[in-house]
């Protein structure tokens, strides 16, 4: 595929924006122009929604087994072309190839998991008060789904939504992040090649404020599934909620990792470095608050700073994102916090920030409450598990949390009381897999879970079927 002009995919055909306008996408690794993408607007969204509406009924007529088989084909094609997919992701995001390959594999696994649901998508049978009445539940598609995604792990972000949405018999329009247009087009073209009918999975490229808004506001979109920031999610919930569309939100986090005085320190350091700095901290589940018991604080801090200094700075997605992170760190320093590592733009081309550790910010400071979505983590000191849990819960967000301890009692107490959708003991703040429902509480989401069979609940409605038999007619 050519990566110099990334178009929309509507009804199986690549098309530029109707306005003929393009946006520029820069390569994070060196700041050079990577490609142009269609700058779509309401007319393009209209065309994609019409294509989806037209294609959906025939797709929904196919059995779940058939739909699963087609998606299995797509997952297998993606596996065969994982190198090509990963190269696109590396160019668009600047992340290491190994990480991009792992993400391609994760998207494949999501496809295979969902495909298996074709033969396993169980409903329920239940009792009834009336004799000879049999009651069962079946899944129904919703119709047309708008899928809006973030840039951080481009292939899994789309796979987590598109596979279950399409499997459930919907047609969909993906509005990928304007930072990762080519990987989205690659994914949707593989779907076509695998046998997903034209119009069932469409892509509309462009800005959130233009193409994204048009998709959210479109009267003929039955469901909006969004992965991105809490601020945008709040607006989407209000806007699509007004017409009573279903809205699934997977939002940000300010995830905490707690290190108790009985923790295995080398293990805690290893997981902290991975959770805070892998993918340049651009993970919704990144550990951006590290809460350490007094007794081990000095040792932990010394080893963490030493570990962070050994890491190669990786690019963040854009110049604007880098400026925002540098501004937040400078603001914290001006307010009295100390920058122990990083905090500066790395030399050379590209949008690179060295792994950054800040200590001495209070729980109420802006940097403690704002998700930076970059390689910046904060250190806090506590004297007890109660204090640690109180600090962890003193956040607008509640996506993931981790505790490092040798005590089963402390681990269970933390798991019970922490406000988060995912809890990890003695590991990182991330680690989801395709069969595990993922999502958060408070400003991290609205209760839906992506991945796992829970994802099918997002993209389908339950219908209760009552069958009443008359034995006299038997
Ligand atoms: P963002 O909110 O800026 O953008 C996300 C997507 O929404 C993009 O496609 C963007 O173009 C679009 N968009 C922006 N404004 C819009 C609007 N008004 N209407 C419709 N669409 C709009 O977020 P981002 O910077 O791309 O991603 C970072 C955020 O995503 C972080 O908060 C991160 O935690 C979150 N995230 C969450 C998860 C999760 O599963 N919970 C996973 C990955 C990322």
User: Residues with catalytic annotation?
Assistant: 250, 284
Which residue's alpha carbon is nearest to atom 14 within ligand 1?
Answer: 208
Q: % helix / strand / coil in the chain, to the nearest 5?
A: 45, 25, 35
Handedness of CA 91, 93, 96, 97 (dihedral sign): negative
| pTM listed for this prediction | 0.97
* Separation of alpha carbons 471 and 105, rounded Å: 54
15: pLDDT strictly greater than 70: yes
Mean pLDDT, the chain, rounded, equals: 97
Kind plus residue range of the DSSP H or E element containing 358: strand 356-359
Per-residue pLDDT tens digits for 273-297: 999 999 999 999 999 999 999 999 9
Q: What is the DSSP letter of 346?
A: P
Per the DSSP assignment, residues forming a β-bridge with 96 are none
Per-residue pLDDT tens digits for 329-363: 999 999 999 999 999 999 888 999 999 999 999 99
Per-residue pLDDT tens digits for 41-89: 999 999 999 999 999 999 999 999 999 999 999 999 999 999 999 999 9
Mutational test site, ligand 1, from 229, 370, 431, max ligand atoms within 8 Å of CB: 229
Q: Where are the beta strands (DSSP E) in 343-396?
A: 356-359, 376-382
Integer angstrom CA distances of residue 76 from 119, 123, 191, 291: 18, 28, 11, 42
Which residue's alpha carbon is nearest to atom 1 within ligand 1?
Answer: 228
Q: Of 453, 474, 473, 471, whose CA–CA distance to 462 is shortest? A: 453
Task: Give the mean model confidence (pLDDT) for residues 9-34.
Answer: 97
Assess whether the C-beta atom of 284 lies below 6 angstroms from ligand 1. Answer: yes
Closest approach atom of ligand 1 to CA 371: 32
Mutational test site, ligand 1, from 92, 107, 208, max ligand atoms within 8 Å of CB: 208
| DSSP secondary structure, 71-98, as one string | HHHHHHHHHHTHHHHHHHHHHHH---HH
Please give the distance, rounded to the nearest whole angstrom, from the Cα atom of residue 69 to the centre of ligand 1: 31
Q: Please provide the size of the chain in residues.
A: 474
Which residue's alpha carbon is nearest to atom 42 within ligand 1?
Answer: 284
């Amino acid at each position: 595929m050519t990566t110099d002009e990334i178009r929309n995919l509507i009804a199986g055909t690549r098309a530029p924006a109707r306005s003929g306008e393009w946006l520029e996408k820069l390569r994070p690794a060196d700041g050079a122009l990577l490609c142009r993408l269609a700058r779509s607007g309401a007319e393009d969204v209209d065309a994609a929604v019409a294509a989806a509406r037209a294609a959906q009924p025939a797709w929904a007529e196919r059995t779940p087994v058939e739909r699963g088989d087609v998606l299995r084909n797509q997952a297998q094609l993606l596996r065969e072309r994982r190198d090509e997919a990963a190269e696109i992701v590396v160019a668009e995001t600047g992340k290491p190839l190994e990480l991009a390959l792992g993400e391609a594999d994760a998207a494949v696994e999501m496809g295979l998991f969902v495909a298996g649901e074709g033969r396993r998508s169980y409903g329920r049978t239940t009792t009834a008060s009336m004799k000879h009445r049999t009651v069962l539940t079946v899944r129904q598609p919703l119709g047309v789904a708008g899928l809006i995604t973030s840039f951080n792990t481009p292939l899994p972000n789309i796979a987590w939504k598109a596979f279950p949405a399409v499997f459930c018999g919907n047609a969909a329009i993906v509005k990928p992040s304007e930072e990762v247009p080519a990987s989205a087009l690659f994914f949707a073209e593989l779907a076509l090649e695998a046998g997903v009918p034209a119009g069932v999975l469409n892509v509309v490229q462009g800005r959130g404020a233009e193409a994204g808004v048009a998709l959210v506001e479109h009267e003929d979109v039955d469901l909006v599934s969004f992965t991105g920031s809490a601020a945008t999610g709040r607006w989407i919930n209000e806007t699509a909620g007004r017409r009573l569309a279903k809205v699934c939100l997977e939002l940000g986090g300010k995830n905490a990792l707690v290190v108790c005085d009985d923790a295995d320190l080398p293990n805690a350091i290893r997981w902290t470095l991975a959770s805070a700095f892998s993918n340049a901290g651009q993970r919704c589940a990144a550990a951006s608050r590290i809460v350490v018991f007094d007794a081990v604080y000095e040792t932990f801090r010394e080893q963490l700073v030493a570990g962070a200094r050994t890491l190669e700075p990786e690019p963040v997605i854009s110049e604007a994102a880098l400026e925002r992170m540098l501004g937040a760190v400078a603001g914290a320093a001006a307010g009295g916090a100390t920058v122990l590592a990083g905090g500066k733009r790395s030399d050379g081309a590209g949008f690179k920030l060295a792994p950054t550790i800040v200590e001495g910010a209070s729980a109420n400071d802006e940097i403690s409450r704002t998700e930076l979505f970059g390689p910046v983590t904060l250190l806090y000191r506590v004297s007890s598990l109660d204090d640690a849990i109180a600090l962890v819960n003193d956040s607008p967000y509640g996506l993931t949390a981790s505790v490092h301890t040798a005590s089963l009692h402390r681990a269970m107490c933390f798991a019970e009381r922490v406000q988060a959708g995912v809890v990890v003991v003695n590991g990182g703040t991330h680690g989801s897999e395709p069969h595990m429902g993922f999502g958060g509480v408070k400003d991290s989401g609205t209760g839906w879970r992506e991945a796992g069979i829970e994802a099918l609940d997002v993209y389908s409605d339950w219908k209760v079927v009552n069958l009443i038999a008359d034995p006299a007619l038997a």
